[in-house]
Structure 1
Amino acid sequence: MNNSQYEYITTLQYRNKALKARVDAFENGSVYKKMEADYTSLLHTEESRIHKLEVALSKAHAQTVDVRNIWWEVLEDVFREHEKENAAYEARIKQLEQRILEVERQRDTALDDKKELRLKLYEALTELEEEKGKNMHLKAQLNRDYENSSKPSSQSVNHKKITNNREKTGRKPGGQPGHKGHGRKKQELTQPVIYLPAPQDVLDDPCFKKTGRIIKKQVIGIHLCMEVREYWADVYYNSQTGEHRHAEFPGGINDDVNYDGTVKAFLYLLNNNSNVSIDNAKDFLSNLTQGRLNISKGMVSNLNKQFSEATEEQRKKWFVDLQRCPVLNTDFTNARCDGRNMEVAIVASPDGLTQYYGREQKGHKGVAGTPVENYQGILVHDHDTTYYSYGSDHQECSTHMLRYLKDAMENEPDRTWAGKMRTLLQEAIHYSNSLGDDDPDAVKVDDFEKRYCKIIEEARNEYLDVPPSKYYPEGYNLFKRMEKYMHNHLLFLHDKRVPHNNNLSERQARKVKRKIKQVMTYRSFQSLEYFCDGLGVLVSLREQDPSNIYTNVSEIFDRKYRWSD
């Protein structure tokens, strides 16, 4: 017997033994008991699991019912909310429909208005064309002078100066030996001639004979003579009507005691021309009359108003004349009124007309109501950008520019552009002053402009290399300003009528400054306006007739002065 057979037999024996044991277990019933116990245990387990599942199913069913109820409630709430939203939308739709109807109505109205506006625009454009034609006509009048019209040279602003063709002799200035000279002007005699007797020793000496030549010397003095005129008028009574009548007194005689134009002009000129205070002016007149004339301060203060009212019509004419001038100088100066800072606008022309206007502030509100507001010529002014909204062209004061350039030279010594620009402006001013009657040389003017642009380019490079200091931006601002307003700094080279500075306005401004320094502050703005009205008339009258200013002012107060055209 080999090994494989032995292993096979052994395996069968083990299997037989195992099957026998299982048969014995079935025969004695132990297997059945175990199976029954396992079944009972399994049944109990399944019943427990089924019970749990039934409990869970019951809970799930209850939850399903609760969820269904909740969902019904939610659906009902959503439905109610939806109904509310639908109602709101319907109301909104109705409102929008009404608005659409209103908008359509407004659109129709707007279309009708647009049609009317088009008609008005057409009318406005037509009027504008007419105004342009009027402006063209006015400009033609402004440019007329004795060379292109019948206007005499004496009335032309730009009449030529007489050229000085005399050659230098090298002699000292003043009277030359042998020249008769110009002595003091002799006056017409108001008293009989006083003959001086010859010295006694001359009369006693028969050798002295009369030559027939008389030496005449005058002594001139002044004295104040008070003239008092009194008007009488008989009073008549009507016994039937009870009416009282008398002859009409001359105009201006209203009070028991009245002062004529000579007294008013004396006090007015002292106060406004000589800047003497009201107290000192009336005290001076009282001293001159040995105390007989003691005029009240109120009367002296009211002279400004009287003079303003008496010259109103002429100031209106001068206003138009100023607008017709081809060149105007304008400026502002400070004043005080009721403790507040005010401004005085100054408008002056080269032909001697000057007007002052009291204003509460500078800017466009300060320009309003002055000849500058509707001016169409060339304005000369300091660097106030407000003026660039008016006039046809502009010249900035070169004197101010020279000062600003000098300041830049002193505060920015490392930059060279300011010194070069200052030298250029000085040369341009000297060239303009040396022209006389000659017109500017276009080549020379072009050379000045090219040098100007070159210096501006150098300034730009200097500020690119070394930026300006935040503590001194004035130099850089001056460079930008001169770059932008080059034409307005060199306009005087193109037009001989244009001065290179604004000294005319600044000289007239000193008259206001001196008065403000004396008066300190005006009590009302109207008082400042009265002063400005009168000062403009005084300055203009002095330019027209400087020797008779007192007489002219007296006649103005008496309404006897005849204004020149």
Structure 2
Amino acid sequence: MREKSGKKQGGQKGHSGTHLAVLSEPDHVINHLHADCQHCPKREICMMNSEVKEIRHEIDMIAQVDVTEHELITIPVCPICGEAKTGSFPAEIKAVVQYGQNLEALAVALNTIGAVSFNRTHDILSGVFNVPISVGTIKNMVSRCAAKVEEANTVSAEKLKSAHHKHGDETGCRADGKTRWTHCLSNELYTVLFLHDKRGHIAMEEMGIIQYSGGTLVHDCWAPYWCFTNVKHQLCGAHLLRELKGIVENHPKQTWAKKFTTLLLNLKRAKEKAIAKGKTALHRNTLKRYSNLYDEIMRAAYEENPLPERKPGQRGRTKRGKVLCLIDRLSAHKGEVCLFAHDFDVPFDNNQAERDIRNIKVKTKVSGCFRSVDGAKEYLKIMSYVSTAIKHGFTSFDAIRRAVMGNSMSIFAQDSE
């Protein structure tokens, strides 16, 4: 929704910028001399009086496989008890030859966060590390990780139930040759993604969060969300602005749309200015003024779009068109459009859910469809967990590594502080 600013692309004047920085001592130092000095017999004498004029750093990575051998030691006769004493392998060492946790975490991260298919993950690991890891092994690693994050996702779901507000959205994806629906519920700290064959109310109920929640649900006015009367509703302002912009561009005679756009943006700015001043609510006179202006614009909208006349013998509901349907929606849901201005903790838009669910589209664009429903569900479990971990200050790879090590609940450590 941003308009062109007229500025040139790139960093603006006065912008400090960012650059690569070396945070540790270099592993290697190479001196670069003048070509005439390379084989000069007086070189050592000159080097004693030389000085470093400029330093540049090259940051690179060395892919190296680290193999640890675990030996089980047996003492044939204990000098104290006279019995044989044999050690035991660590719990995570279960096979004669197996992959370590760091390699497993990398494989899972490439397939989920990196959106790389199983075959390409196999190619990358085999080519970079010369590790003969099979596609089936990578699939099993992802499945094990998905199982280990279920407890953390259950915590996220419980937290969302009691949250002041939550964002809802849904998007389609292909799994097992059929279109399925990914449902997302999230806020600033927690994310839950859920796969279902249906897009509507049945799937939302089976997700098992909204119907047990309070607070406010922010959404794009998709009809099934209105079935939940146990929550307040806030309609996404960004979606409304996009629809209004379409009307302004495609229907120039609709003067009310531009006025309503200005109303929404001014109300949003009024809230932001009040928050900047440390206020927790808009003055009642301000809210009343915007409320009266809202009603005035709606009256003008209906005047510009009178109800279509019913033709003789016509049955059923008269077709209203997109413009009139939007006007009806804005008129019927005035409280849900403006709730963000009455409750400062309620966001103006549903962008949080849009961002949290976007990964499913990236995955399908890069890797194609999911071969199985179980594979899609495992992917969503891991991405729910990773999204929540990132919101708690962890990097995506660190989160995956913690899950592989069986320590997924550690991402909530700061919640208990």
Query: TM tier, shorter chain?
Result: 0.7 to 0.9
Q: Displacement, 1:192?
A: 5.7
Does 2:117 match 1:274?
Answer: no
Describe the superposition over 1:22-74 as per-residue Cα deviations: whole angstroms up to 9, x where unpaired. Answer: xxxxxxxxxxxxxxxxxxxxxxxxxxxxxxxxxxxxxxxxxxxxxxxxxxxxx
The residue aligned with 1:342 is: 180
In structure 1, what is the Cα distance between the partners aligned to 2:157 and 2:47?
70
Is the 1:261–1:556 Cα contact (8 Å) retained in structure 2?
Answer: no
Does 2:353 match 1:505?
Answer: yes
Question: Which of 184, 190, 197 is the equivalent residue of 1:360?
Answer: 197
The residue aligned with 2:58 is: 219
Question: Which of 76, 88, 97 is the equivalent residue of 1:257?
Answer: 97
SS of residue paired to 1:333: strand
In structure 1, what is the Cα distance between the partners aligned to 2:186 and 2:18?
34
Quickly say closer, same or farther: Cα 1:413–1:267, change in 2 above 3 A: same
SS of residue paired to 1:373: helix
Quickly say closer, same or farther: Cα 1:452–1:283, change in 2 above 3 A: same
In structure 1, what is the Cα distance between the partners aligned to 2:54 and 2:136?
52
Q: Displacement, 1:420?
A: 2.5
Structure with the greater alpha carbon radius of gyration: 1
SS of residue paired to 1:435: helix
In structure 2, what is the Cα distance between the partners aligned to 1:551 and 1:492?
35
Is the 1:283–1:294 Cα contact (8 Å) retained in structure 2?
Answer: no
Q: Displacement, 1:196?
A: 5.9
The residue aligned with 2:145 is: 307
The residue aligned with 2:261 is: 422
- TM alignment of 1:311-460, pairs within 5 A: 311-350=149-188, 352-368=189-205, 369-388=207-226, 389-410=228-249, 412-438=251-277, 439=279, 440-460=282-302
Quickly say closer, same or farther: Cα 1:223–1:208, change in 2 above 3 A: closer
The residue aligned with 2:125 is: 285
Q: Displacement, 1:534?
A: 0.2
Q: Displacement, 1:208?
A: 11
Question: Which of 398, 402, 406 is the equivalent residue of 1:551?
Answer: 398
Higher relative contact order (CA 8 A, sep 6+): 2
In structure 2, what is the Cα distance between the partners aligned to 1:473 and 1:552?
48
Stretch of structure 1 that moved more, 313-322 or 548-557? 548-557
Question: Which of 160, 167, 173 is the equivalent residue of 2:14?
Answer: 173
In structure 2, what is the Cα distance between the partners aligned to 1:428 and 1:467?
35
In structure 2, what is the Cα distance between the partners aligned to 1:225 and 1:465?
72
In structure 1, what is the Cα distance between the partners aligned to 2:104 and 2:243?
46
Structure with the higher fraction of residues in helix conformation: 1
In structure 2, what is the Cα distance between the partners aligned to 1:272 and 1:465?
51
Describe the superposition over 1:239-284 as per-residue Cα deviations: whole angstroms up to 9, x where unpaired. Answer: xxxxxx9654222322222112211111111111111121111111
Q: Displacement, 1:410?
A: 5.0
In structure 2, what is the Cα distance between the partners aligned to 1:482 and 1:510?
27
The residue aligned with 1:58 is: none
| Equivalent residue letter for 2:149 | T
Describe the superposition over 1:311-353 as per-residue Cα deviations: whole angstroms up to 9, x where unpaired. Answer: 1222222222222321111111111121111111111112x32
Quickly say closer, same or farther: Cα 1:467–1:501, change in 2 above 3 A: farther
Describe the superposition over 1:395-435 as per-residue Cα deviations: whole angstroms up to 9, x where unpaired. Answer: 10112112222334455544433332223223223333443
Is the 1:428–1:448 Cα contact (8 Å) retained in structure 2?
Answer: yes
Quickly say closer, same or farther: Cα 1:420–1:191, change in 2 above 3 A: closer
Q: Which runs of 5+ in 2 are unaligned?
A: 1-11, 77-84, 312-317
Q: Displacement, 1:207?
A: 11
Quickly say closer, same or farther: Cα 1:463–1:545, change in 2 above 3 A: closer
| Equivalent residue letter for 1:186 | V
In structure 1, what is the Cα distance between the partners aligned to 2:295 and 2:310?
20
Is the 2:389–2:396 Cα contact (8 Å) retained in structure 1?
Answer: yes
| Equivalent residue letter for 1:509 | I
In structure 2, what is the Cα distance between the partners aligned to 1:409 and 1:537?
41
Q: Displacement, 1:467?
A: 5.2
Describe the superposition over 1:55-112 as per-residue Cα deviations: whole angstroms up to 9, x where unpaired. Answer: xxxxxxxxxxxxxxxxxxxxxxxxxxxxxxxxxxxxxxxxxxxxxxxxxxxxxxxxxx
Q: Displacement, 1:551?
A: 3.5
In structure 1, what is the Cα distance between the partners aligned to 2:26 and 2:306?
79
The residue aligned with 1:538 is: 386
Is the 2:386–2:399 Cα contact (8 Å) retained in structure 1?
Answer: no
In structure 2, what is the Cα distance between the partners aligned to 1:216 and 1:410?
55
Describe the superposition over 1:137-156 as per-residue Cα deviations: whole angstroms up to 9, x where unpaired. Answer: xxxxxxxxxxxxxxxxxxxx
Quickly say closer, same or farther: Cα 1:434–1:193, change in 2 above 3 A: same
Q: Displacement, 1:478?
A: 1.3
Quickly say closer, same or farther: Cα 1:391–1:500, change in 2 above 3 A: farther
In structure 2, what is the Cα distance between the partners aligned to 1:429 and 1:560?
42
Q: How many positions carry a matched residue from both structures?
A: 379
Q: Displacement, 1:378?
A: 1.0
State the identity as a percent. Answer: 22
Is the 1:334–1:341 Cα contact (8 Å) retained in structure 2?
Answer: yes
| Equivalent residue letter for 1:346 | C
Q: Displacement, 1:375?
A: 1.0
In structure 2, what is the Cα distance between the partners aligned to 1:208 and 1:538?
53
